[in-house]
Structure 1
Amino acid sequence: MQSTFPRLMLQQAATRPQAPAMREKEYGIWQTTTWSELAALVQELACGLHDAGLQPGEHLVLLGSNRPRLYAAMLAAQSIGAIPVPLYQDAVATECVFPINNAEVRFCIVEDQEQVDKLLEVREQCPQLVSIWYDEPRGLRNYDEPGLSALDALLERGRQFSRQHPEFFLNRVEAGSSADVAAMFFTSGTTGNPKGVVHTHASLIDRAQAGAKFDNLKNTEEVLAYLPPAWIGQNIFSYAQWLVVGYVVNCPESASTVSIDLKEVGPTYYFAPPRVFEGLLTNVMIRMEDAGPIMRRMFHACMSVARRVGPALLDRKPVGWIDRVKYQIGNLLIYGPLRNNLGFSRVRVAYTAGEAIGPDLFSFYRSIGVNLKQLYGSTETAVFVCLHPDNEARSDTVGVPCDGVQIKVSDSGEVLVKSPGLLKEYYKNPKATAEVIAEDGWYRTSDAGFIDASGHLKIIDRVKDVGRLQGGAFSNAMFAPKYVENKLKFYSFIKEAVAFGDGRDRVCVMLNIDFDAVGNWAERKNLPYAGYTDLAGKSEVSDFIRECVEKVNEDLSRDTLLAGSQVSRFLVLHKELDADDGELTRTNKVRRGFIGEKYAVLVDALYSAQSEQYVQTQVKYEDGRTGHISATLKLLDARTFPPAKVEAGVATV
């Protein structure tokens, strides 16, 4: 049956009026909004926005964290045929200019003073922006700007309009069609201005239903909404599926309280990119290294059993009764308390996506009883393309096609997709739309991959990034930078990696260390340091990181296709890559081209005979000020290994 998000919301309110729809933690206390209360809030906001002049087909920008009233604002805009456009709450002011002007936005609803200040800063560049409503009034009492007012004022306006026109809201909701545009999401913009990805109610609801059916989601699920609402992954999990299934969405108090709120909520359905799972595991391992010798021995003994037995139990494979008993003892002593401490004691399904996840990291969570799986999708495909079935979770694949999806691989190795969840278009960009959607309906993902014998999809890299080495020991060998970067980041001591090599005679990389993990290692080695730059420059740290790089090289040497991608030289950067400095996207993806230009002097030094290079870098602080960080970086060689020889189906080195 065709539907829209406002209709789904009203259906939930009609059948389960007193059931919790959302919870928000405020001043340390969880506040509940029921479905009937949500429906009333949406009606008031919709009427207020209509009375303020928001027209069908017009865009409404939403800027802030996950908050019930911002979710209600999305529903309110959709109820009157307008199109919500969530933007990243951590974007700097200038990053908001293009989306606002591109979508011709007149009205914005924002979370707090921080977001108000951003819009006021760029208002002269966005002359059509006439009204800004804020949810949190703290710090805004003395602001006197034309068109700036509290969301409470808009709600009061809506209440008055609703009393005068009691049938307006329901009539407008019923007039909506599943073919109407539901939302627009801007891409990261790794190579230029971001593109507005236009999705209809039909495309988003279809994929939400497919994902819900795949994992048998029920309205009793609990979700923690802590990732940016502007990212379609968060939007699908805590908005589209929320309205389709009717489960509870919990909004943390702040970014700094997420880990505490995670433990309090105990979600049953959880989603996080690999970096979140890596961070949680890093904290666990740091704490274990600081524990007493008895606890450390018990932990490692139990984890040895878990790695051997846990995944098999989760996949419902046969396990001997002795191993089952050992695992139950480990569950009582280690795994159960650990899951509880992480906030995963009730997780029934957990997903990760966006980047490759290390096999050790993947195995760790499944070993302790967390049903962690991978999925594959993008903004343009409304997320759900491939998913891991419960008994087929593997770290080296992204799963099998879910309902309604067809996949094929082109002659060039590009993954092509047909799905009901495909974007309608790129906003005001027919050329870009035609480049990704063929006349026969196949969407070009720009990802290089293949389908293995078991029907699982494997992703290697972005098609445009797969290159060839020229000259040197591995001349004409394939170079897949993302594949190399992900392998390096599988080590908890390496936070980011940027690989270079296309058209060159060897592969070189720039690395960021994980400050917490390496800092803890340094403290145990009695190695003093004063901040990130000092720690990253220590020769002991460089030697330690070299060991990780050489282990990756040894692993790559066993891959007949990618043995040439072994790292010959590397350096540890003097600063952490940062989205505010343009080095990462707002979804924390490396902007390799930008970094290559910004640090051209370091790239050139890596490909020379130099052993060190001085560099000075401008950085932007959270308060908007700029400064400089300088250092003399060591350029280090890494051991490479001869490619594996394949004889009679057996790889040997």
Structure 2
Amino acid sequence: MQPEYGDVVRHDTFPKLLLHNAGGWPGEVAMREKEFGIWNEFTWADYRDRVKEIALGLIELGVKRGEVVSFIGKNRPEMVWSELAIHSVGCMSLGVYHDAMPQEVAYLVDYAQVRVVLAEDEEQVDKLLEVAENSKSIEKIVYFDPRGMRKYHDPRLVSWDELKAMAARLEAREPSRFADEVALGKADDVAILCTTSGTTSNPKLAMLQAGPFLGHCAAYLGADPKLPSDNYVSVLPLPWIMEQIYAVAQPLICRITVNFVEEPETMMADLREIGPTFVLLAPRVWEQIAADVRARMMDATRFKQKMFELGMRLGLQALDQKRRSWLAELILFRPLRDRLGFTFLKSAATGGAALGPETFRFFQAMGVPLRQIYGQTELAGAYTIHQLDDVDFDTVGLPFGDTELRIDQPDKNGVGEIVARTSGMFLGFYRNEDATRADVRDGWMYTGDAGYIKKENGHLVVIDRVKDLATTSTGTRFSPQFIENKLKFSPFIAEAVILGHDRPYLAAIICVRYSIVSKWAEQRSIAFTNYTSLSSQPEVYRLLREEVEKVNATLPEPQRVRKFVLLYKELDADDGELTRTRKVRRNVIAEKYADIIDAIYGDTPKVHVDTIIRFQDGTTSRIQTDLVVEKLLDTGPAAASAGRPASAERAA
């Protein structure tokens, strides 16, 4: 039976849907938050009341319709309440990633001319006060968590209690003010300024209108239905477009309960307690879960290891035959799903970057209904998804009902740029008409991604960014992302960057997964002191060599990795090497590690590193080490050109 959803035509803004839900189901649980080990519940009436208090407080602080108001913090009910309050008073919300560095925050608030910021706690207040010293715009900082705030006496700071008192005074003077403000909202109001991933430069701000955005979310629910009795656990950053859909917009339409974990470190334990019916996790999280499962087996008894291997083999064989293995279910998958908190899952999704087919198959074999989604911030997030009975590991599924897509200028194999439009398509980039004109032509969004439509089932296949598709100097075309995802299926590899564009052969920079490789080393009494020391151990190089060789065996000869180095540090978003959604910034890697890359393609067996790394707390550390250039295969002219050049689409 098709579930009954909120009418997004009649209730065409976020606050209008909130008032509709609070009026019709005031006692129904809308949110839960775990704090000090206890799950606190908030009903739709609570949700409305908190939003009203913040909205009226913002008015008292002098916020005007059409302004940009920002919020920053971990995934908490207060952050969602803040966003709805911002919309309620006719302003545009700008979410900032909670782990953003001060310079990133400064860029966003100054660019959007933000006068008022709603912050979670002391950590964010410290960051904002540092920014405010040189900011041309910040006037007020509202904070919700008072812990540690007694020592602050800055006139720009406003506590949650002070804001509520201001709201109460305004409501006493004008009892209908909140409802009047909500009623002024229109479908074509820009509600959200959502940051793009910013893989090459500072992020742009996509202007998303309330009505079209909600309409697209309703189309999403048509492809992946949800009920008020369902549960979702919010763990991905709230400013990300997909969390805006899953934790903010869709719950307003379908009344699914949103659960907020206590801390990122308690996510898996909290997942098990809730037993969600829906989850959305980034590829890096699915990769980490898969790696953790295999790492735990390293500590298990030989009998359990054999049972795991048998269960996985039977499960994967059954998956290939489009069935389930009752024996694998009995000895492995049922208890494993329970352990992970996946027992009640109806649907699980991954998006934001590509997920390797091996990781995809691992969870599908386990019985996790994992599906790939694909989209862009500018098109209101995802617009393709697999159907539960039609999952193709090499694709991102079929488009939603409100979506049109085509392949622009396909080559002889059908590969070209993916071009799309949805009912929720953005209005343009905030204060950046040139960028809007560059990406949008004749009402279509040119995504910059290369792909094709599979003839057998009509699914969309995404290969890589068009600009990232690479060709060696010998003419071999390849997709770095595809090979990187195959490498990251290894429990020992956290990140990988494939090199080879305009070079004679492929090579890799690899970051070990410290939590697992360190355990592996301890079991073998290998001495190390830190990440740099661990990654330089000969035994670790031998281990990673075996992992790369496994991947090489699955690749065409010209696309095999012939050399690699283990980097002395993890790639980090704070260092600009990754985006906040963990996408590799290839231009930064090429520039920052140019000496290492040149050494890989030279004849030197080692490259000396003498550098300073800066930690998030401002402290620095000097690193002096020698990186071994591990050679796997012959790199001479004959080897580099061996085999017929394979196209990127065949690799992907």
CA displacement at 1:35 relative to structure 2 = 0.2
Could you tell me which of 412, 417, 422 is aligned with 1:414? 417
Question: Residue 134 of structure 1 corresponds to which residue in structure 2?
Answer: 143
Question: Residue 533 of structure 1 corresponds to which residue in structure 2?
Answer: 532
Distance 2:31 2:151 in 1: 31
Distance 1:584 1:432 in 2: 22
Moved more, 380-389 or 478-487: 478-487
SS of the residue corresponding to residue 588 of structure 1 reads: coil
Query: How is 1:362-377 mapped onto 2 (pairs within 5 angstroms)?
Result: 362-377=360-375
Distance 2:153 2:579 in 1: 34
CA displacement at 1:417 relative to structure 2 = 0.4
Cα pair 1:207 1:384 within 8 Å, conserved: no
Cα pair 1:375 1:384 within 8 Å, conserved: yes
Could you tell me which of 580, 590, 595 is aligned with 2:584? 590
- 2:479 aligned with 1:487, yes or no? no
Query: How is 1:247-646 mapped onto 2 (pairs within 5 angstroms)?
Result: 247-309=256-318, 327-411=325-409, 413-438=416-441, 440-453=442-455, 454-470=457-473, 475-557=474-556, 564-639=558-633, 642-643=642-643
CA displacement at 1:636 relative to structure 2 = 1.6
CA distance 1:364–1:483, shift in 2 (3 Å): closer
Cα pair 2:350 2:370 within 8 Å, conserved: yes
CA distance 1:476–1:329, shift in 2 (3 Å): closer
CA displacement at 1:105 relative to structure 2 = 0.3
Question: Residue 49 of structure 1 corresponds to which residue in structure 2?
Answer: 58
* Amino acid of the structure 1 residue aligned with 2:39: W
Cα pair 2:272 2:340 within 8 Å, conserved: yes
Distance 2:315 2:305 in 1: 15
Cα pair 1:87 1:96 within 8 Å, conserved: yes
Distance 1:89 1:608 in 2: 41
* Amino acid of the structure 2 residue aligned with 1:566: R
- 1:77-97 deviation line (CA, Å, top 9, x unaligned): 101111110101001111101
CA displacement at 1:539 relative to structure 2 = 1.8
Distance 2:498 2:129 in 1: 39
Distance 1:485 1:279 in 2: 15
Cα pair 1:310 1:369 within 8 Å, conserved: no
Distance 1:25 1:394 in 2: 36
- 1:145-202 deviation line (CA, Å, top 9, x unaligned): 0110212211221122112111211122122111101111122322222211111112
Cα pair 1:574 1:630 within 8 Å, conserved: no
Q: Which runs of 4+ in 1 moved over 6 A?
A: none
SS of the residue corresponding to residue 192 of structure 2 reads: strand
Moved more, 416-425 or 427-436: 416-425
Query: How is 1:114-263 mapped onto 2 (pairs within 5 angstroms)?
Result: 114-263=123-272
SS of the residue corresponding to residue 385 of structure 1 reads: strand
Question: Residue 3 of structure 2 corresponds to which residue in structure 1?
Answer: none
SS of the residue corresponding to residue 553 of structure 2 reads: helix
Cα pair 1:479 1:564 within 8 Å, conserved: no
CA distance 1:645–1:208, shift in 2 (3 Å): closer
Q: Percent identity?
A: 37
* Amino acid of the structure 1 residue aligned with 2:502: G
CA distance 1:520–1:395, shift in 2 (3 Å): farther
Distance 1:366 1:169 in 2: 47
Cα pair 2:419 2:447 within 8 Å, conserved: yes
- 1:337-372 deviation line (CA, Å, top 9, x unaligned): 211111111111000112222222212211121101
- 1:184-240 deviation line (CA, Å, top 9, x unaligned): 112232222221111111232122111211122111111111111111121111111
Distance 1:276 1:117 in 2: 29
TM-score of the two chains, using structure 2 as the length reference: 0.93
CA distance 1:525–1:644, shift in 2 (3 Å): farther
CA displacement at 1:57 relative to structure 2 = 1.0
Moved more, 270-279 or 104-113: 270-279
CA distance 1:183–1:509, shift in 2 (3 Å): same
CA displacement at 1:286 relative to structure 2 = 1.7
SS of the residue corresponding to residue 125 of structure 1 reads: coil
- 1:533-556 deviation line (CA, Å, top 9, x unaligned): 122112222222223223333322
CA displacement at 1:645 relative to structure 2 = 10
* Amino acid of the structure 2 residue aligned with 1:611: P
Distance 2:537 2:364 in 1: 35
Question: Residue 6 of structure 2 corresponds to which residue in structure 1?
Answer: none
- 2:35 aligned with 1:26, yes or no? yes
Distance 1:311 1:273 in 2: 25
Cα pair 1:353 1:375 within 8 Å, conserved: yes
CA distance 1:284–1:76, shift in 2 (3 Å): same
SS of the residue corresponding to residue 395 of structure 1 reads: coil
Moved more, 203-212 or 116-125: 203-212
Cα pair 1:426 1:433 within 8 Å, conserved: yes
Distance 1:152 1:643 in 2: 70
Distance 1:329 1:497 in 2: 36
Cα pair 2:235 2:281 within 8 Å, conserved: no
Cα pair 2:348 2:368 within 8 Å, conserved: yes
Cα pair 2:291 2:490 within 8 Å, conserved: no
- 2:116 aligned with 1:110, yes or no? no
* Amino acid of the structure 2 residue aligned with 1:590: V
SS of the residue corresponding to residue 65 of structure 1 reads: coil
- 1:92-146 deviation line (CA, Å, top 9, x unaligned): 1111011101110000000000000001111122132110010101000120001
Cα pair 1:381 1:423 within 8 Å, conserved: yes
Unaligned regions of 5+ residues in structure 1, if any? Answer: 558-562
CA displacement at 1:329 relative to structure 2 = 4.6
CA distance 1:311–1:207, shift in 2 (3 Å): farther
* Amino acid of the structure 1 residue aligned with 2:119: V
Question: Residue 560 of structure 1 corresponds to which residue in structure 2?
Answer: none
SS of the residue corresponding to residue 643 of structure 2 reads: coil
CA displacement at 1:303 relative to structure 2 = 2.5
SS of the residue corresponding to residue 329 of structure 2 reads: helix
Moved more, 476-485 or 343-352: 476-485
Cα pair 1:218 1:245 within 8 Å, conserved: yes
CA displacement at 1:644 relative to structure 2 = 6.7
* Amino acid of the structure 1 residue aligned with 2:290: L
Cα pair 1:133 1:149 within 8 Å, conserved: yes
